[in-house]
Amino acid sequence: MAIPVIDFSKLNGEERSKAMAQIANGCEEWGFFQLLNHGIPEELLERVKKVSFECYKLEREEGFKNSTAVKKLNDLVEKKSSEKLENSDWEDVFLLSDDNEWPSKIPGFKETMAEYRCELKKLAEKVMDVMDENLGLPRGYIKKAFNGDDGENAFFGTKVSHYPPCPHPEKVTGLRAHTDAGGVILLFQDDKVGGLQILKDGEWIDVQPIPNAIVINTGDQIEVLSNGRYKSVWHRVLAMPDGNRRSIASFYNPWLKATIAPAPALAEKVKHEADQAYPKFVFGDYMLIYAEQKFLPKEPRFHAVKAM
Ligand SMILES: [Fe+2]
């Protein structure tokens, strides 16, 4: 069993309805799918690989070697403990957004990543348009829900992660299991080093590395907005003994003041709002809860935000 791989260019041709149906299936049955021919130039992706690897080597690797995760794992091994590391991830990560400071030592890093983010944001909006259509919502509905009425407010972030080779992968995870808080997530993962898995029908399934594919998944806010038609799915990254896994995840999220609720056209016909399966809430409130509960099930988060 493998997650769906979809040729995104087919949306513009005779096989459009087939491609639309494949994406609907990816959203409804999997919560994850991979896009090929997504329109991001290969030449740009090659540059992204180059500058992110160089950045890791020059600006991050030393810090990772001195990180808490490395120290804690060393301690466990020295003590010959049979315990696993429960509260750490074997991950080096930093965030790129429109208003934070970016690494600056690698020539071309900023320019390349800015260009990449611009392309990925456009792809996210195309994917959201497809979701609107598949859900029977007016075109632009999800984008508008995430941006609000006055302008481009949505949060577009890019997490640049590396998962260095781990001497004891049985003792620690690369990234602990979670569902994503936000909207649409677009992942540019390593060509060769795997480790990403999703939980499907009680079984962990690999997200197979495909060079230059973009992996799409839906976060908790798409689950709410679609009234549960599109579920946010548990995923994790295993630590791997060989190879340094690159993983660049960009997320198109609501702005913090956005009100999120099931789209009225998809909400169940119930008399009282309180009987809806999903609550209506302000996204910023959800993020406060998520910050504390990222690695726990999402359902209590929905309950907690309803109570705020
Ligand atoms: Fe995630």
Inter-residue contact 20 to 11 (CB < 8 Å): yes
Residue 124 lies in a domain: yes
Ligand 1 geometric centre to CA of 269 (Å): 32
Residue 206 lies in a domain: yes
Residue 275 lies in a domain: no
And the tokens for 252?
């198109």
pLDDT digits (tens, 9 = 90+) for 145-197: 999 888 889 999 999 999 999 999 999 999 999 999 999 999 999 999 999 99
Ligand 1 geometric centre to CA of 272 (Å): 33
pTM: 0.96
Residues 6 or more apart whose CB falls under 8 angstroms from that of 143 comprise: 125, 128, 129, 154
Residue 172 lies in a domain: yes
CATH number of the domain enclosing 55: 2.60.120.330
Q: Kindly tell me if the per-residue pLDDT of 81 is higher than 90.
A: no
Residue 219 lies in a domain: yes
Helix (H) or strand (E) holding 24: helix 16-25
Residue 307 lies in a domain: no
For helices 109-135 and 16-25, give the axis angle rounded to 10 degrees: 90
Ligand 1 geometric centre to CA of 234 (Å): 8
Q: Is the dihedral of CA 93, 122, 231, 22 positive or negative?
A: negative
pLDDT digits (tens, 9 = 90+) for 157-167: 999 999 999 99
Range of the domain at 116: 5-263
Number of domains in the chain: 1
Ligand 1 geometric centre to CA of 183 (Å): 11
Residue 127 lies in a domain: yes
Residue 268 lies in a domain: no
